[in-house]
């Protein structure tokens, strides 16, 4: 096994040497790679601006929203501001948790300060959420954006 690793390392080193023998080709390859990376970053920034959300794409991580969204579905988020209505699907983050929550609004409550709070629940959950989350907690209306082609290639 050690000999195989040595052979692999020697082969990789020969490829690196061959790559740098022609500096013009090396520079062309590096610049092409930089262009690809910068294009991907620009596309992401355009998506962020168009969606009005700092995180415009979310993957559903649990089955709490079945049958509307299955685990692994990809959601494209559009921020419609803090206005939410009963029945809307919202995506929000709770302080201290990195994973966004995708749930449906059950009820809207206004506290004494006039602040709107949402009572949410996953469609497949037995009980509603434990607390009321402020409607300003990075909530976004969402629409399903499943990438069946990507899932097809991942299943191969």
* Active-site amino acid positions: 64, 103, 129
Q: Are 131 and 80 in contact, with CB atoms under 8 Å apart?
A: no
Residue 129: partners with Cβ closer than 8 Å, 6 or more residues away: 103, 119, 120, 121
Q: Which tokens sit at 55?
A: 């995180």
> Is it true that the peptide bond before 67 is cis, omega within 30 degrees of 0?
yes
Tokens 């061959």 locate to 18
């Amino acid at each position: 096994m050690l000999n195989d690793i040595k052979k692999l390392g020697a082969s990789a080193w020969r490829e690196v040497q061959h790559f740098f023998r022609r500096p013009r080709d090396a520079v062309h390859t590096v610049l092409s790679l930089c262009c690809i990376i910068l294009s991907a970053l620009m596309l992401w920034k355009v998506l962020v601006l168009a969606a009005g959300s700092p995180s415009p794409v979310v993957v559903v991580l649990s089955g709490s929203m079945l049958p509307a969204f299955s685990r692994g579905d990809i959601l494209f988020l559009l921020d419609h501001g803090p206005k939410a209505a009963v029945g809307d699907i919202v995506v929000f983050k709770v302080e201290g948790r990195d994973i966004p929550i995708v749930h449906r609004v059950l009820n809207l409550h206004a506290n004494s300060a006039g602040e709107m709070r949402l009572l949410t629940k996953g469609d497949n959950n037995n009980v509603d959420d434990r607390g009321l989350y402020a409607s300003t907690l990075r909530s976004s209306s969402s629409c399903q954006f499943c990438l069946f082609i990507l899932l097809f290639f991942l299943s191969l």
